[in-house]
Amino acid sequence: MSDFVDTPFADLRIPCSHDGRTVLAAIAPLCESMKLDTWAELRRLDTDPDLRDQVKTVPDRRRAAETHTLPIGALTLWLDRLAETHADTQLRHRLAILQLEGFPSLLDHWTMRSEATTQAIDGAAIKRQFRRLQTQMSSLSEALKTCATPIEQEILRAQLSELCQFPIVPRTTASPVLERFWDTVFGRMMNGAELNHARRSDRFLALNFRHLARELAGAPAPIELTPELRSELKKSRHPYFLGVRVVNSRIARKSLRCWVFNLH
């Protein structure tokens, strides 16, 4: 965990830290800028099933105190939900400014800091990825309001949780092993192979490895489901790995253990 650094965020400077994976932003100064009661917001966050586990209490050595933070992915979800909760025009305008201007300035600052210790980072690419993340989180949040089954909610919430941990230094190169796997899987599916066990096959891809091994054994260039490939699949972003779940298979018409991915 790094020390707190005063970071540009739209027209503010807010204390931010880095936990080795993503940037954590202090909640209190953002509440103050929106004229919201910090403790009331922390209580509200504690009742939000998608955000309560994202709040981290981080020691701030400069102030000899502890600071409540959110990872930057969770921060954009929180600001979205504030806009849904409050009808005040001035507050909604403020939230829009923070969303549109705050994150680009924060990402610029932290990518420049990262360049001193890691490989060169394409700041413009990271900002494009973050804009896609904002759109995806908004879509998932909307889907949670309408999805019918508990398992769909569990899958959507698992993906939201992953997106909340947007990495400041994303993987820059795709794994050749992973690329070959997806080329083969989607090629087989385009040729009519039934590989996707998900009921919502327009949104999710659910692969049962025992079934998949049989199908891929007959491919022109067979692929083995090695430990290396399984490790790379856990890092897959397109499609996005959600986790291993028990799925009501539309192919086998029974419950199967599947590796589940989001197609969008």
Residues 248 and 208: their CA atoms lie apart, in Å, by 11
Residues 195 and 233: their CA atoms lie apart, in Å, by 16
pLDDT along the chain (264 residues), means of 10: 86 90 93 93 95 91 81 95 90 92 91 57 78 89 83 87 80 70 86 89 89 82 82 84 90 92 79
Which pLDDT score, from 0 to 100, does residue 34 have? Answer: 92
Dihedral sign computed on CA atoms, order 193, 197, 199, 203: negative
Could you say which DSSP state residue 17 is in? E
Which pLDDT score, from 0 to 100, does residue 251 have? Answer: 92
Residue 235 contacts residue 182 (beta carbons within 8 Å): no
Which pLDDT score, from 0 to 100, does residue 47 have? Answer: 95
Residues 103 and 133: their CA atoms lie apart, in Å, by 12
Which pLDDT score, from 0 to 100, does residue 116 have? Answer: 46
Which pLDDT score, from 0 to 100, does residue 104 have? Answer: 93
Interval 159-214: pLDDT, tens? 899 899 888 764 445 678 888 888 888 888 888 889 999 988 888 899 999 999 88
Which pLDDT score, from 0 to 100, does residue 64 have? Answer: 62
Pairing of strands 12-18, 56-60: unpaired
C-alpha distances in Å from residue 67, one per residue of 3, 17, 64, 176: 12, 10, 10, 42
Which pLDDT score, from 0 to 100, does residue 114 have? Answer: 65
Which pLDDT score, from 0 to 100, does residue 255 have? Answer: 92
